[in-house]
Amino acid sequence: MIKLILTRLAQAVPVMLIVAILTFVLMKLLPGDPAVLLAGEGADLDKVDALRRELGLDRPLLIQLGSWLADLARFDLGRSLFLNQPVAEAIVERLPVTLSLAMVAFVMTIPIGIIMGMVAAYWRDSWVDTAVMSLALVGVSVPNFWLAILAIILFSVTLGWLPSAGYVPIDEGLWLWLRSLIMPAAVLALFQIGYLARMTRSEMLEVMDQDYVRTARAKGVSELRTVAKHAFRNALVSVLTVSGYIFSLLVGGSVVIEQIFALPGIGRLLVQAIMARDIPVVQGTMLFLGFMFVAINVLVDIFYTVVDPRVRYD
Amino acid sequence: MTDKLLDVRDLAVSFRTDRGWIPAVDSVNFTLGEGDALGIVGESGSGKSVTALSLLRLHAERNTRIEGQVLWRGRDVLKLSRGQLQQLRGSEIAMVFQDPIHTLNPVLNIADQIGESLRIHQGMTGAAARRRAIELLDTVRIPDAARRVNDYPHQLSGGQRQRVMIAIAIACQPKLLIADEPTTALDVTVQAQIMELLRQLRADLGMSVILISHDLGLVSEFADRVMVMYAGQPIEMAPVDALFDLPLHPYSDGLISAIPDLDSDLDRLPTIAGSIPEPTRRPAGCRFAPRCPHQKADCRNTVLPMLEAGGGRAVRCTLHVTDKRAVA
């Protein structure tokens, strides 16, 4: 098991390197010069040149890339150009917000998505199936920024039940924390619920046609147990894969929602950094998200061994 | 009819497909007494497995229609509520399927899969069910049962898996065991061992057995009576010895001739010309008529019932029956 984790993390290194280089190249392709932005409007050219030299942006691209990678190897993500703090610190500061949002959305997604998928599969081709799957289709089709605005109008403006924006840290009270996250998390979860429900349904349909499900029925196992134990345990491997993917998306994909609900998370940091051409922050954040993807995949791999006795890594 | 364990009357099964309802099996009638061993024989598509699965209503409910009666000790299985059906399955009537690679649940261990029916039907606790599971593995002769009980199906060989399936089936000492092609997916040597095990268990537990197979030779060594099916209907019912001495239906005759004989020196095995008709293209009269060497003018449009042939035999053919009386 430890060997598995170590090999997977080692395999992550080349992946991260590619992410690092791609991010670097993309940032260089973007129009806009950080030195100009940093110097401020109407600054004279000498000042901009001086800043550019100071930031090392006048050096050849390969040298810039090389020195950045060398810093990375020492776990140094560099300093933000605008925030006046190290990139690592900027990420760590905003991480709890993004993780909180992702967790709450994930906790909403998993049970609802799975149960919807199972219900639809069990009553396949009936009106129940049609109703549940239509709902799931709505979930994956409705743009979440639009839904977010509607939700704010209803729950914050009209009913006044929930705050329309802002984040409350968990140490100021569990309820206040949760209240600040319910709406953005629900909006975020809706798409994922639809996606998970569709995946679970198709996986369950496949599994319920298997011979061992018939064996369970022939033993006198009740319908509920047949579906929940014999069938679902076998569908779980795929559901787990999808769940890991969903969590990755939630951690990295909250950009729009964080923006609408004014949550100071990683997604918002990334967008602001791109706008400001704050290259070290963009690169650092992208790398961090890449690392999260790899880490979540390792976790999913470990869960496979728990769920399916046929999977072994030794 | 109380001495009859199982009495199947006019069983007919059809499946819903994109092209509407397709009849798979019809006119199935047979009875089974306590301790009887009945063989159901036929080629692929003859309806033998469909018949077997119908006895416990194991077809997918939403696209299957089962008509007729399946009287189990006087009660119609087709009319039982879901709860009553679940009580019957696995406790009084158990089933062993073909292809043990796919019939055991890959993510549950053996102890759980055997113990499950004990927990359901006999109210055993986890520990007691586990002990009994080990005993059952011993009974079906899996060596080192106490350790193997923790294994998962993929850790066992094909023959061992089928033994586990049998252990599951006999866990609650059923009165009837339905074995649907139990050895088809196995090696010939393993096949003989499994049949020997079934024979022994039948004697020890006093179960009735319905053995379904395409292999007439296999069935003849196991069963007392044989029902031959063709294109969704039984076409001959006879005690095993009588059937081999003189098959009354030309199809049974063809099947028996096709069994290789070690003493004769043949270059080619005799076969029955043609192939079994699809369910949607079955002839109106005798379904075997187009392939029958003894075909007469009216065979193709006369629908025959099973005719009484004496000696506990019945046949859906007039070739050897002079006194044309339908079986009551």
Contact pairs from chain A to chain B, CB under 8 Å: 78
Scan for tokens 């605005």, then name that residue. Answer: A149
Q: What is the pLDDT of residue B328?
A: 64
Q: Indicate whether A114 pLDDT > 90.
A: yes
Q: Indicate whether A31 pLDDT > 80.
A: no
Lowest-pLDDT choice from A264-268, B121-125, B279-283, B320-324:
B320-324
**Rounded mean pLDDT of B280-289?**
88
Lowest-pLDDT choice from A62-76, B41-55, B195-209:
A62-76
The two beta strands, B37-41 and B208-213, are: parallel
Q: Which residue in B97, B105, B168 is closest to A230 by CB distance? A: B105
**Does residue A67 sit in the same domain as residue A207?**
no
Hey, are the CB atoms on B120 and A219 less than 8 Å from each other? yes
Proportion of chain B above pLDDT 90, given as a percent? 59
For residue A279, is it within any domain?
yes
Q: Indicate whether B89 pLDDT > 50.
A: yes
**Does residue A168 sit in the same domain as residue A106?**
yes
| End residue of a domain, out of A50, A73, A96 | A73
Lowest-pLDDT choice from A52-56, A262-266, B192-196, B277-281:
A52-56
Looking at per-residue pLDDT, the higher value among A253 and B221 belongs to B221
Residue B42 and residue B216: Cα distance in Å, rounded?
8
Q: Indicate whether B115 pLDDT > 50.
A: yes
Q: Indicate whether A112 pLDDT > 80.
A: yes
Please report which confidence band the pLDDT of residue A309 belongs to, taking 50, 70 and 90 as the band edges.
confident
Lowest-pLDDT choice from A68-82, A273-287, B120-134:
A68-82
Please report which confidence band the pLDDT of residue A253 belongs to, taking 50, 70 and 90 as the band edges.
low
For residue A160, is it within any domain?
yes
**Rounded mean pLDDT of A219-246?**
91
**Does residue A276 sit in the same domain as residue A219?**
yes
Q: What is the pLDDT of residue A122?
A: 92
Please report which confidence band the pLDDT of residue A70 belongs to, taking 50, 70 and 90 as the band edges.
confident
Hey, are the CB atoms on A217 and B120 less than 8 Å from each other? no
For residue A80, is it within any domain?
no
For residue A141, is it within any domain?
yes
**Does residue A62 sit in the same domain as residue A38?**
yes
- Paired tokens of B285: 């009269």
Chain B residues close to A219, C-beta within 8 Å: 89-90, 94, 116-117, 120, 168
**Rounded mean pLDDT of B36-53?**
92
- Measured in angstroms, the CA of B314 and the nearest CA of chain A are apart by 31
With both helix axes pointing from N to C terminus, report the angle between A61-73 and A2-29 in degrees, rounded to the nearest 10: 150
Hey, are the CB atoms on B90 and A219 less than 8 Å from each other? yes
**Does residue A14 sit in the same domain as residue A101?**
no
**Rounded mean pLDDT of A104-108?**
94
For residue A313, is it within any domain?
no
For residue A82, is it within any domain?
no
Q: Tell me the ipTM for this assembly.
A: 0.88
Q: Indicate whether B99 pLDDT > 60.
A: yes
**Rounded mean pLDDT of B28-34?**
93
**Rounded mean pLDDT of A49-75?**
80
What CATH number corresponds to the domain at position A193? 1.10.3720.10
**Rounded mean pLDDT of B166-189?**
90
**Rounded mean pLDDT of A252-257?**
76
Residue A288 and residue A282: Cα distance in Å, rounded?
10
Q: Indicate whether A289 pLDDT > 80.
A: yes
Q: What is the pLDDT of residue B105?
A: 93
Hey, are the CB atoms on A215 and B97 less than 8 Å from each other? yes
Proportion of chain B above pLDDT 70, given as a percent? 98
Give strand pairing partners of B66: B13
A31, A35, A40, A45: CA torsion to nearest 10: -100
Vertex B163, ends B161 and B164: CA angle to 5°?
65
Q: Indicate whether B30 pLDDT > 80.
A: yes
Q: What is the pLDDT of residue B249?
A: 92
Mean pLDDT of chain B: 89
Q: Indicate whether B1 pLDDT > 50.
A: no
**Does residue A136 sit in the same domain as residue A47?**
no
Query: DSSP string covering A164-213, please?
Result: SS----GGG-HHHHHHHHHHHHHHHHHHHHHHHHHHHHHHHHHHHTSHHH
Q: What is the pLDDT of residue A299?
A: 86
| End residue of a domain, out of A42, A73, A104 | A73
| End residue of a domain, out of A19, A51, A73 | A73
Query: Which stretches of chain B are assigned E, i.e. beta strand?
Result: 4-17, 20-33, 37-41, 64-72, 75-76, 93-96, 176-180, 208-213, 225-230, 233-239, 307-310, 313-315
Chain B residues close to A128, C-beta within 8 Å: none
Whole-number Cα distances in Å, B291 to A118, B20, B229, B306: 48, 28, 15, 19
**Rounded mean pLDDT of B34-61?**
92
The answer to whether B57 touches B77, Cβ cutoff 8 Å, is yes
**Does residue A146 sit in the same domain as residue A28?**
no
**Does residue A45 sit in the same domain as residue A184?**
no
Give strand pairing partners of B21: B16
- Paired tokens of B174: 């059923």
Residue of A nearest to B109 (CA): A309
Question: Is residue B285 packed enough to be buried (19+ CB in 10 Å), middle (13-18) or exposed (0-12)?
Answer: middle
For residue A300, is it within any domain?
yes
Q: What is the pLDDT of residue B2?
A: 46
pLDDT tens column, B208-262: 999 999 988 889 999 999 999 999 999 999 999 999 999 999 999 988 888 877 7
Residue B281 and residue B303: Cα distance in Å, rounded?
15
Please report which confidence band the pLDDT of residue B166 belongs to, taking 50, 70 and 90 as the band edges.
very high
Hey, are the CB atoms on B94 and A218 less than 8 Å from each other? yes
Q: Indicate whether B118 pLDDT > 60.
A: yes
For chain A, what is the domain count?
A: 2
Residue A290 and residue A25: Cα distance in Å, rounded?
16
**Does residue A165 sit in the same domain as residue A117?**
yes
Residue B169 and residue A242: Cα distance in Å, rounded?
36
End-to-end CA distance of chain A: 8
pLDDT tens column, B7-17: 999 999 999 98
Residue-range definition of the domain harbouring residue A31: 2-73
- Measured in angstroms, the CA of B90 and the nearest CA of chain A are apart by 4
Collect all residues from B whose CB is shorter than 8 A from any CB in A: 56, 58, 62, 82, 86-91, 94-95, 97, 99, 102-109, 116-117, 120-121, 152, 154, 165, 168
**Does residue A167 sit in the same domain as residue A273?**
yes
Looking at per-residue pLDDT, the higher value among A306 and A240 belongs to A240
pLDDT tens column, A115-132: 999 999 999 889 999 999
Hey, are the CB atoms on B154 and A309 less than 8 Å from each other? yes
**Does residue A15 sit in the same domain as residue A94?**
no
**Does residue A65 sit in the same domain as residue A101?**
no
For residue A147, is it within any domain?
yes
Q: What is the pLDDT of residue A314?
A: 63
Residue B323 and residue B303: Cα distance in Å, rounded?
17
Query: DSSP string covering B272-313, please?
Result: -SS-PPPGGG--SS-TTGGG-TT--TTTTTPPP-PEEEETTE
Cα–Cα nearest to A191, from A246, A130, A265: A246
Chain B residues close to A230, C-beta within 8 Å: 105, 108
Q: Indicate whether A213 pLDDT > 90.
A: yes
Stated length of chain A = 314
Among B15, B62, B103, B165, the strongest candidate for a mutation testing the A interface, having the largest count of A CBs within 10 A, is B103
Q: What is the pLDDT of residue A221?
A: 92
Mean pLDDT of chain A: 86
Residue B37 and residue A20: Cα distance in Å, rounded?
72
Collect all residues from A whose CB is shorter than 8 A from any CB in B: 124-126, 210-212, 214-223, 229-230, 233-234, 236, 307-310
Hey, are the CB atoms on A219 and B82 less than 8 Å from each other? no
